[in-house]
Structure 1
Amino acid sequence: MTGRVAVFAPSPQLTVTIEELDGAPDIHIHAGGQGVWQSRMIESLGAEVVLCAALGGETGQVLRQLIGVELKARDVAARNGGYVHDRRAGGRDQVVRMAADPLSRHELDDLYEITLVEALNAGVVVLSGPAEHDEPVPDSVYERLTKDLGGNGCRVVVDLSGARLAAALAGGPTVVKVSHEELVGDGLAESDALPDLVKGCRELASCGARAVVVSRAADETLALIDGTLYLVEVPALSPVDTHGGGDSMTAGLAAGLALGGSIEDSLELGAAAGAVNVTRHGLGTGSGDVVRQLVERVRLKPWEDA
């Protein structure tokens, strides 16, 4: 095992958050997006990580300084997206959002090659999506990457929804991570009732995936691993911000596989990482030491559906 994970994040975002400190505005500027948050948690859990991305425009120049993990980037003309959120009232009020530009054909080809090389060297890859409604790369890229990497011995973990998920499923991933809202929203489950989610799990697994993991917000995570159903019980912790819990779970799944764990062991690590993340204000954050302590308290409970 290499202990290394490649993360495909085609277009990270520049995030600006306005908070309040001692009665005055307090501005925070970070690199964000699903793949960035996952990469941070993977590294916290003791695995090496390399982020494969395209960076362009003024936003891309700033992102290069902020990403904070090993980066393999293609410099592009397409601008990275970004947003400004005002959190002074306690919520996430969006002030402005700039969508990412689509990559040109040559930019896309080069990013694809970078990802192939890094993922094959790592042996485990996470395919993450850009921001909702952004389309820097065509959906077909996810099918090609899943097929090409999986066909050459790389274990592919996908955390996607909608057309991107459908494309990745056609390529045959190793592990599929979705939320119950995504499963219902994509028409793969009739409702968020457990029997309906189980049917959705089985449909997803028909693509050849060894594991399908469905996070269910405050309810126990549902998992189908090699045909066996589990409910995942985690220690009760007081949530601060539920954003990013699913991304941390995906990071734990990938890190566990890279570090030599079974899918079951990796799911326990992912569940603990997700539980820790929701106790913090930052996305993709949490101490690896705390996560490893909580792993001992995670339980996979076999569940028989009717």
Structure 2
Amino acid sequence: MSQEPWVCVVAPTSILMVEIERPEDAFDGDDSRAEIHVHRGGQGLWVATMAHSLGARVTVCGPFGGETGTILRQISSTAGLEISAIEYAEGSAALVHDRRSGERQEVARMPAGPLRRHETDQLFGAALVTGMDADVCVLTGAQPPEVLAPDFFGRLAHDLLVGETILVADLSGEAALRVAEVGPAVLKMAHDEVIEAGLADDDSVSSLRAAAAQLVEGGVGTMVISRADQPTLVVRPNGAWLVRTPPLSSVDHRGAGDSMTAGIAVGIGRGEPVLDAVRLGAAAGTLNITRRGLGTGSREEIERFTTQVTIEELDS
């Protein structure tokens, strides 16, 4: 593996995010001025952005349609991401938020629509070929889930593994279960997603560990379960660990889990041991909450911050 791996990110849903902010020098009651920021968003693009920040070559495979899709492709390419775009009749999703009050208020939302048969086939082909060529392929979910059937993720994961692709999946619901059946190198889920999928009874470490162990026995190489502000749980065939990070102040928690996924994928792509890759991911995710730019960060700062991440092995 090269020190700067090639990461393919399968991104079924990308979101154009427009955020209205209050200028730093505005005084109380002054609503006559505003700063308007345009960002690329959605799980796949947040993973891709952080992976690029960590030095990886990144190709995003996903549907981009309409005016919003055109803008997303442009700002993603300008930021250094390679885009393998599938034409999308429905148009890419968009969100408008007003944060001038200090709280995020949703002004307007345009959700993504389901992919049609031809679009689904195009996405499958692009993701399969690019994923096989890349050092690591990351599968991210659709939002809402109706954009793609769960079977899409299971079939794609199966075929990527036939090509001996290193597969990292960050999924929930039925899509996660379908991919787990074919045994990705890493499957990451949030603790509430594990419970909602019926794999664990509660959010205790023992219950989540038992659920993760069952999936590992079924073929998943490593299960990573994020637990909000609690230590992340990692389960492998040879043991289980808790990954702890300092409790930093949060500006925006969104994108933290996706930044973690990106760090894991980049670390594995560099040829690092899995726990070292998880350490990199934990550092990326933790520092991301201190920033307003989701999925962004400094490679040097993130790699230095890994020294603040502790990994504790659990008793068998």
Shared fold (TM-score greater than 0.5)? yes
Q: Partner residue of 2:243?
A: 232
Give me the TM-score of the superposition, normalised by structure 1. Answer: 0.95
Q: Partner residue of 2:47?
A: 38
> 2-side partners of 1:100 and 1:56: how far apart?
10
> 1-side partners of 2:54 and 2:291: how far apart?
16
Most deviating of 46-55 and 133-142: 133-142
Most deviating of 68-77 and 48-57: 68-77
**Structure 1 residue 160 displacement after superposition:** 0.8
> 2-side partners of 1:92 and 1:217: how far apart?
20
Give me the TM-score of the superposition, normalised by structure 2. Answer: 0.92
- Aligned residues of 1:273 and 1:291 also touching (Cα < 8 A): yes
The question of 1:75 aligning with 2:87 is answered yes
The question of 1:25 aligning with 2:27 is answered no
Most deviating of 42-51 and 181-190: 181-190
Query: What do residues 78-100 of structure 1 show as CA deviations (whole Å, max 9, x unaligned)?
Result: 31111112222223222221121
Secondary structure in 1 matching 2:139:
strand
CA change 1:125–1:245 in 2 (3 A) is: same
> 1-side partners of 2:232 and 2:185: how far apart?
18
> 1-side partners of 2:183 and 2:104: how far apart?
36
1:267 to 278, 281, 300: 278
Secondary structure in 1 matching 2:34:
strand
Count of residue correspondences: 304
Identity %, equivalent residues: 41
The question of 1:297 aligning with 2:299 is answered no
- Aligned residues of 1:74 and 1:110 also touching (Cα < 8 A): yes
The question of 1:184 aligning with 2:195 is answered yes
The question of 1:121 aligning with 2:133 is answered yes
- Aligned residues of 1:100 and 1:134 also touching (Cα < 8 A): no
Gap runs ≥5 in structure 2: none
**Structure 1 residue 18 displacement after superposition:** 1.6
Q: How does 1:141-180 map to 2 (within 5 A)?
A: 141-180=152-191
Q: How does 1:192-207 map to 2 (within 5 A)?
A: 192-207=203-218
2:9 to 7, 18, 22: 7
**Structure 1 residue 214 displacement after superposition:** 0.9
**Structure 1 residue 134 displacement after superposition:** 4.7
Q: Partner residue of 1:111?
A: 123
Letter in 1 for 2:54: L
Secondary structure in 2 matching 1:66:
helix
- Aligned residues of 1:99 and 1:134 also touching (Cα < 8 A): no
Q: Partner residue of 1:217?
A: 228
> 1-side partners of 2:69 and 2:275: how far apart?
37
> 2-side partners of 1:146 and 1:207: how far apart?
15
- Aligned residues of 1:57 and 1:79 also touching (Cα < 8 A): yes
Query: What do residues 88-140 of structure 1 show as CA deviations (whole Å, max 9, x unaligned)?
Result: 22232222211212222122111111111111111311100122x25222211
The question of 1:54 aligning with 2:54 is answered no
**Structure 1 residue 237 displacement after superposition:** 2.5
1:286 to 297, 300, 310: 297
1:65 to 74, 99, 118: 74
> 2-side partners of 1:18 and 1:279: how far apart?
19
Gap runs ≥5 in structure 1: none
Most deviating of 271-280 and 164-173: 164-173
> 1-side partners of 2:145 and 2:207: how far apart?
30
Letter in 1 for 2:46: W
RMSD: 1.5
Query: What do residues 46-81 of structure 1 show as CA deviations (whole Å, max 9, x unaligned)?
Result: 111110011111211121112231111122323111
> 1-side partners of 2:113 and 2:286: how far apart?
34
Q: Partner residue of 1:98?
A: 110
**Structure 1 residue 235 displacement after superposition:** 3.3
Q: Partner residue of 2:100?
A: 88
Q: Partner residue of 1:135?
A: 146
> 2-side partners of 1:130 and 1:211: how far apart?
22
> 2-side partners of 1:197 and 1:135: how far apart?
27
CA change 1:186–1:88 in 2 (3 A) is: farther
